[in-house]
Amino acid sequence: MTTPLLSLRGLTKAYPGVVANDDVSLEIGPGEIHALLGENGAGKSTLVKMIYGLVKPDSGTMEFKGASFAPQDPRTARASGVGMVFQHFSLFDALTVAENIALGMENAPAMGQLAARIREVSQSYGLPLAPDRTVGDLSAGERQRVEIIRCLLQDPKLLIMDEPTSVLTPQEVAILFETLNKLQSEGTSILYISHKLEEIRTLCDSATILRLGKVVGTCVPAQTSARDMAEMMVGTALKTPQRSGTQVGEVILELDKLSLPPANDFGMPLRAISLNLRKGEVLGIGGVAGNGQDELLGALSGETTVGNGMITYKGQDLSSLGPNERRAIGLLSAPEERLGHAAAPDMSLVENAMLTGATREGLEKGGMLDWAAARKFADRIITAFDVRTPSAANAARSLSGGNLQKFVIGREVLQRPNVLVVNQPTWGVDASAAAAIRQALLDLAMGGAAVIVISQDLDELMEVSDRFAALNEGRLSPPRPAAGLTVDEIGLMMGGAHGLEAAHV
């Protein structure tokens, strides 16, 4: 047996009130792609931050290339050969690719030399990228390439990737996987964090599963079913959302060439979106982030006003109605951004229940607010959607992301909408809570409501949708029945690899 490249023994890290990592041990061999699996809050981030020198462990040891390893900061970690690609990019929009990369380097070479190096690396790893392009013009997939190339220029022995595919189309994912496989064949090890189980099954050699900070199992992903891995992550048997014979009724919401100019210089316009939504159906809208999802939700919720006749609800033109008037007739929505958009962070859950519930729940009479009724409504949401909070008086920002999401979705679902529009309904929510939210959406549809689910999670969309459409550059592809759609077809609806093919390696 060869010496592992990286071995962690008994790593423990506690924060006030929570043990983020408890006696975590794992080994990664040279040239191994190792998956780190776990729900939100399982301790994946803390663990990789310790490896990358951002956080110091309370106890336990690390060995890298056979020698003791205790990086003081990311710079030492990089110098030893650990690279990391974060989920959120740290790039300057106004600078070029080469300038951005130079900014992150210890001793950046002259710009011309660096550009040549970038071209060389990008070609040899099949990551097409022009060094002189401005980052602001790049797609999410291309931005990720900038981050990856930035790491590769340092010639890492271990590359840590945090949820790399969450911003990619299936075609872009394929390009990324080719790159990772090439790196692997050259002996680079990869620590791959994800909760997308099918990806892990195709890509990774081994997997370590974390739950509540502890290692709960290891497995060979290719030989383990996605369901088994999910159940190890969650610790209980998972319920797949169920639906029984949906009766699709008449058209309730109609969009006719819905168009909207961009809100600002970096905004995305909506371009002639047309669709018919029927009672009892779930329409899934996919697409890479930033292709008009927020804008579409805003136009439907009434936050932005659109031209006459572009949105019709039960034959009524909605264009001049504001959010509350739309709520009154049964068109409800839940935006993606929980803190600051769907909920006011510093306000209590009672106040946040009032935020959208005032009209339909009768929490307001003649302008005067009935706080006792709002409190009851908030308590009902908390009970029905299993929101974990000490009380409804707690501030929204004190809840974990998943709990607040349950609250935000529950608040709209409990108001008995006729049409509900949700954007990223299970983003950052653990698997069992996500299943509960999806079930609630399906139940709504079964009760005769129409639901639009905007999401970047294709598995989720395939699970809940009757029909599927994709947003790309503010355009909506014609909706197609979801059953029988292949990943390739979906990818093409989403805009393929945004006009880029994998360079031939």
Partner 1 sequence: MIRLEKRPQPSRTYALATPVLAVLATMFFGGVLFAILGKDPVQSIITIFWEPLFGEFSFYYRPQLLVKGAPLVLIAIGLALGFKAGIWNIGAEGQYIMGAIFGAGMGLAFYPTESVFIFPLMILAGAFGGWLWATIPAVLKVKFGTNEILVSLMLVYVAEQLLASVSLGLLKNPEGFGFPGSRNLQQYASAHNAELITGSGMHWGVVAAFIAVIFAYVLLARHRLGFAIRVTGEAPRAARFSGVNPARLILFCLGISGMLAGLAGMFEAAGPAGQITIDFNVGYGFTAIIVAFLGRLHPIGILLAGLLMALTYIGGDIAQSQLQLPAAAIQVFQGMLLFFLLAFDLLTNYHLRIGNTEVTP
DSSP state of 398: G
Single out the segment in contact with partner 1 by CB under 8 A; choices: 29-37, 44-52, 187-195, 415-423.
44-52
Residue 254 within binding range of partner 1, rule CB under 8 A: no
Residue of the chain from 243, 314, 341, 480 that contacts partner 1 (CB under 8 A)? 341
Q: What is the CA radius of gyration of the chain?
A: 24
Sign of CA dihedral 303, 306, 312, 317: positive
Distance CA 90, CA 104 (A): 10
Interface residue with partner 1, options 249, 322, 447, 478 (CB under 8 A): 322
Task: Select the span of 97-105, 250-258, 306-314, 364-372 touching partner 1 (CB under 8 A).
Answer: 364-372
Contacts for 357 with CB less than 8 Å, ≥ 6 apart: 363, 374, 377, 411, 415
Q: Is 346 in the site for partner 1 (CB under 8 A)?
A: yes
Q: What is the largest CA-CA distance in the chain?
A: 77
In Å, what is the CA distance from 89 to each residue of 76, 145, 256, 287? 21, 10, 36, 19
132 part of the interface to partner 1, by CB under 8 A: no
Lookup: tokens for 163: 């949820």
* Smallest separation (angstroms) from partner 1 to the CB of 331: 12
d(CA 263, CA 34): 42
Q: What is the DSSP string of 152-201?
A: HTT--SEEEEESGGGG--HHHHHHHHHHHHHHHHTT-EEEEE-S-HHHHH
Q: Which one of 54-62, 77-85, 145-153, 411-419 is the stretch in contact with partner 1 (CB under 8 A)?
A: 54-62
Q: Give the residue from 70, 95, 72, 74 showing the smallest Cα distance to 86.
A: 74
CB-wise, 408 or 490, nearer to partner 1? 408
Which residues, 6+ apart, have CB-to-CB distance to 174 below 8 Å? 502
**Residue 337 is a binding residue for partner 1 (CB under 8 A):** yes
Out of 199, 351, 361, 466, the only residue in the binding site for partner 1 (CB under 8 A) is 351
Using rule CB under 8 A, residue 368 touches partner 1: yes
Note whether 65 binds partner 1 by CB under 8 A.
no
Q: Which residues contact 131 (CB under 8 A, 6 or more apart)?
A: 96, 97, 98, 101, 114, 115, 118, 119
By the rule CB under 8 A, 369 interacts with partner 1: yes
Q: How far is the CB of 488 from partner 1 (least distance, A)?
A: 37
Q: Return the residue of 70, 174, 248, 395 that touches partner 1, per CB under 8 A.
A: 395
156 part of the interface to partner 1, by CB under 8 A: no
Task: Output 219 or 414, the one with its CB closest to partner 1.
Answer: 414
Token digits of residue 81: 């050969």
Instruction: Verify binding: residue 335, partner 1, rule CB under 8 A.
Output: yes
User: Which stretch, 111-119, 141-149, 358-366, 454-462, contacts partner 1 (CB under 8 A)?
Assistant: 358-366
What type of residue is 292? G
Using CB under 8 A, pick the residue from 37, 39, 41, 46 that binds partner 1: 46
54 binds partner 1 per the rule CB under 8 A:
yes
For partner 1, the binding residue among 342, 378, 440, 476 (CB under 8 A) is 342
Considering the rule CB under 8 A, would residue 398 count as an interface residue with partner 1?
A: yes
Residues 6+ apart with CB under 8 A from 308: 317, 319, 320
Number of residues that bind partner 1 (CB under 8 A): 42
- Which strand (E) or helix (H) includes residue 440? helix 431-446
410 binds partner 1 (CB under 8 A): no
Stretch touching partner 1 by CB under 8 A, among 3-11, 146-154, 359-367, 453-461: 359-367
The verdict on 45 binding partner 1 (CB under 8 A) reads yes
Nearest-CA neighbor of 471 among 287, 267, 235?
287
Is 405 near partner 1 (CB under 8 A)? no
- AA identity, residue 485: L
- Minimum CB distance to partner 1, residue 60 (Å): 16
Question: Residue 187: exposed, middle, or buried by beta-carbon count in 10 A (0-12, 13-18, 19+)?
Answer: exposed
Question: Residue 70 interacts with partner 1 (CB under 8 A)?
Answer: no
Q: Could you tell me the two tokens for 490?
A: 């979906």
Residue 378 Cβ vs partner 1, minimum distance, rounded to whole Å = 14
Comparison of 21 and 472: residue with beta carbon closer to partner 1: 21
Task: Choose one: 103-111, 186-194, 389-397, 489-497; the region binding partner 1 (CB under 8 A).
Answer: 389-397
Q: Kindly tell me the number of DSSP H helices and DSSP E strands found in the chain.
A: 16, 23
Residues lying near partner 1 in the complex (CB under 8 A) = 15, 20, 45-46, 49, 54-56, 301-303, 322-325, 327, 335, 337, 339-347, 351, 354-356, 358-359, 364, 367-369, 371, 394-395, 397-398
